[in-house]
Structure 1
């Protein structure tokens, strides 16, 4: 019988694990054994990253295509991955998953520097997102609203050459065009800051978002409110609303289900908002949060709140944002 370790004896000196067809480890070299004493390693996570179903920054490989950090890995012939050191510091590595007959070889290559601090990476991400959003708004203003206004200007000027008997029909068309432009402007304004949050409050705004999501995507969201309602600050309302938008968007894209639940539980001192689905779930590692989850956590922390995540492969996902009524600076 062939020794499982034989498949890795001729390999490179970096940590290497030999796995069977089901990705169960059946052998490892001395470097891999030492690696496991120095770092907290999840083989399931490593395989998922290697297969492209998640990465060091995203929960879906499709999201990597336009990743603002993609150039950072352009020179690599492997995939980026991070592991938490026993010293509590996350470190960067490159990895490869290679087919060897009926088995797999997972190789990890060292990088001689710690992983960039989460704050710096998050700041880079947020700056890129902000710039991307500004470009999107500029493009919509130019290609949408600006073009519509220019068209209206031409239609209005053209009235002087239109026979008088056709003026009424032309004016009705211009009026409809103005109504469309106004609706487009209101839609953009709502994206930037939902006025309904200020006008009637958090829960009506959530209900409106739920109705719009159903109308646009067919995705069903149930809203459950428990306890006696308590007012949040304006910042708190925005944090909850935007967090729900992001969590629902992730559920819609990745859960594989067509429904989710939003539960708002008003307790004596805090509000707990849970967005739950019964979909695919994902491998949750608190030391390797994707930027979407980091963004949710930063939102909660900005008003003295917290984030809880309960998920697993094929176990669905439950994201809970906890916000105190007495807002704290963070």
Structure 2
């Protein structure tokens, strides 16, 4: 799991200490947190209880002093109370309109957080009706059913502001004692964890040293059993393993030698098969080009010649028809002869295009540089994609077979750009070096994911041609980032 990666480089001793101390440290932190929280809660609860009780008590005992206006005695009483109890920060007595009439502030807890508790000072009043409903004086009797009326009136307020400083100091002292005891327990646990880790780590170190010797080739290692349980079994197993390894070493070496001979024979056979495959592909390409050349010559010399003869004959028929007297049959003969002439011209043009595809004449006349330039000029004249051509080097020394293969590779790449890329711009760069012919074809089309998409027939054909010529091909593409094909062909084909 990813969360355990942090201790991959730890020793077994550190891991044992960590495993042993982790729950102890968790308990220590939980205890300290709970102790501190309980002390703070105890202070807050006691402070709240004392503040509320004190406010109610002062409110009940201050009724007469507030009503009579005897504030001096009330101040003395409050001042003595503040001096006696250091948890009281301030006591304020307010009148009914919440105006301050008495205020006494203590010395403790000025910088601490204060908590205020307030209680109302109520004046009790009893109303007695001295007259009956008819206006006659009221005489008390056994038949009286209306008790005297009692009302409460708030004549002031007592506000007690408590400070937790004094109580908190006592609780902090207790907390420090608890912290010291918990820290001592933590130290004892850490010491025991270290001792336990050492008791397990030392036998493992001895086993590790023995295994390193075995890895270095010293199989006869003597490892004493110094511990019990699983560690003792591990030490005994390592000793037994060293003897077994020494026995099987020779057998393994013999098998390795035999397997190595088999692998060398398989490798040589694969190299021979690969060389034969390259020669076969090169031979097939050569035969295909020769057959294309033969078909092109046949179309050029025979079919085109026959088309020229047919065109001349149709023109002769048209000329003879002109010498005859006009008539509907003569006009139809002229139209038929013109149709034949146009048909022969179209067939001748189609034949010329087919000849250029089978065996481009410009490749023989202008070489690879001129043929590729003429191809790009043809693509630029009738498409939405603009093609750019760059070249560097002297192409006159390029062999005929290599020039044909390079031309076919460029032709296939440009055909793929026109069919599949939806690019608006593409470029072809030919570089003639001392030992290699480098071809770089790139476009700004849709591209494809090379890790997911399978290669099409066009790319497979280009790759086979490059392999047959002993070259290298690299394809770099990504969705919406275009495609770049880099090809390197050796000038001397092996």
Question: Under a length normalisation based on structure 1, what TM-score does the superposition of the two structures give?
Answer: 0.49
Q: By percentage of residues, which structure has more strand?
A: 1
Q: Which has the higher contact order (CA 8 A, sep 6+)?
A: 1
Question: Under a length normalisation based on structure 2, what TM-score does the superposition of the two structures give?
Answer: 0.34
Larger radius of gyration: 2
